[in-house]
Structure 1
Amino acid sequence: MASSYSRRRTPSPLPGLFVFLVSAGSLGFAFYAQYVQKFLPCILCLYQRVPYYSATGLAIISLLLIRQPGLSRGMIYLCGLAFAIGAGIAFYHVGVQELWWDGPEMCGGLTSGASNVADLKAQLLAQPIVRCDKIEWKLFGITMPTVNLFFSIVMAVFCFLAPRSSMMRTTGQN
């Protein structure tokens, strides 16, 4: 019995789709907290969103390049790098909140384009000051930057491991 067995490698869009949904969902939650729940973000909170913007875009590119497995996998690895950077930003923010170190000068401050003292005073009175070391939200004693730290680490690990195991699945044909 001679059978011809050939293997063909076909790309799977699941890692890119998962990263896209998680990133877009995380940004959606951040916007919900900001605009619906009225939790004003500090500058470090805004910085923590940048990796999610990046991962969302890279995941879309990964899905568009699904027929080019090497490039598609590369985009997911870049998502992992974005999440690793996000974990670093989140760790820094946790340290600021826990008073382990000082935050950047912009924390709680206002970058002004005022041309005179009256304009600066008007800007200062109109803008709420959001300090980076102020804890705005907690769940079971866990702050949002702490949640983001662990979430970013998990997503980074997923993005570094997923391309090896699920970007390519082998299908046999008889």
Structure 2
Amino acid sequence: MTPSRTAQALALLIPLALIGGALTSQYGFGLFPCEMCMWQRWPHYTAIVLAALSFVVAPARTPLVVLATLAIAVSGAIGAFHAGVEYDWWEGLTQCSTHFSGEGSALDRIMNAPVIRCDVAPWDLFGVSLAGWNAIFSLGGALVIAILLLKGRKT
């Protein structure tokens, strides 16, 4: 596989895997996202669409992969900012958000909804929060894709 094709595949697989992990943690393990968690998802959704289009629209393959790579990097940058908020390195832009679920009237659902704070990591692995892992994988992945694209351009 050429470096450009590998970059194209990674531009699709990285955001798919990260969104898959986010949705699994939300719906499988009850880790509801805060507002900044949701902000990190939108660039990944965009990257998935752009990378998928790159497999269909051959003349625009490289520009679409480049745009997908930028979207992945944007999600990583948001993740880095969010991780900094969780670790109290700086103050966030929002205080908290909530998720409405359950039965009953709208007022009951609002009153019983869990408060999902943006400045508290609900889960971590080796001291790194989900936002931190998104930053690591997204920024690292975007860098690898960019290097592969440059390598493919030279060949």
Which TM-score applies when normalising by structure 1?
A: 0.75
Q: CA RMSD of the aligned region, Å? A: 2.6
For residue 99 of structure 1, what is the amino acid of its counterpart? Answer: D
* Structure 1 pair 84–11 and aligned structure 2 pair: CA distance change class (3 A): closer
Q: Relative contact order, CA 8 A, sep 6+: which one is greater? A: 1
Q: Is the 8 A contact 1:13 1:167 kept in 2?
A: no
Structure 1 or 2, whichever has the larger Rg, is 1
Q: Distance in 1 between matches of 2:106 and 2:76?
A: 35
Q: Is the 8 A contact 1:137 1:144 kept in 2?
A: yes
Using the aligned pairs only, state the percent identity. Answer: 28
Are positions 1:125 and 2:125 aligned together?
no
Q: Distance in 2 between matches of 1:94 and 1:109?
A: 16
Q: Distance in 2 between matches of 1:12 and 1:18?
A: 10
Bigger mean CA deviation after superposition, 12-21 or 87-96: 12-21
In structure 1, runs of 5+ residues without a counterpart are: 1-9, 112-118, 170-174
Q: Distance in 1 between matches of 2:98 and 2:24?
A: 23
Q: CA deviation at 1:121?
A: 5.0
Aligned positions of 1:61-140 closer than 5 A: 61-66=53-58, 68=59, 71-105=60-94, 107-109=95-97, 122-140=108-126
Q: Is the 8 A contact 1:51 1:85 kept in 2?
A: yes
The one of 21, 42, 60 equivalent to 1:50 is 42
In structure 2, runs of 5+ residues without a counterpart are: 100-104
Greater helix share, structure number: 2
Over residues 113-141 of structure 1, what are the superposed CA-to-partner deviations in whole Å (9 max), with x where a residue is unaligned? xxxxxx88545313211001111111111
Matched length: 150
Which TM-score applies when normalising by structure 2?
A: 0.83
Are positions 1:41 and 2:33 aligned together?
yes
Q: Distance in 1 between matches of 2:33 and 2:12?
A: 23
For residue 44 of structure 1, what is the amino acid of its counterpart? Answer: M
Q: CA deviation at 1:104?
A: 2.1
Q: Is the 8 A contact 2:43 2:72 kept in 1?
A: yes
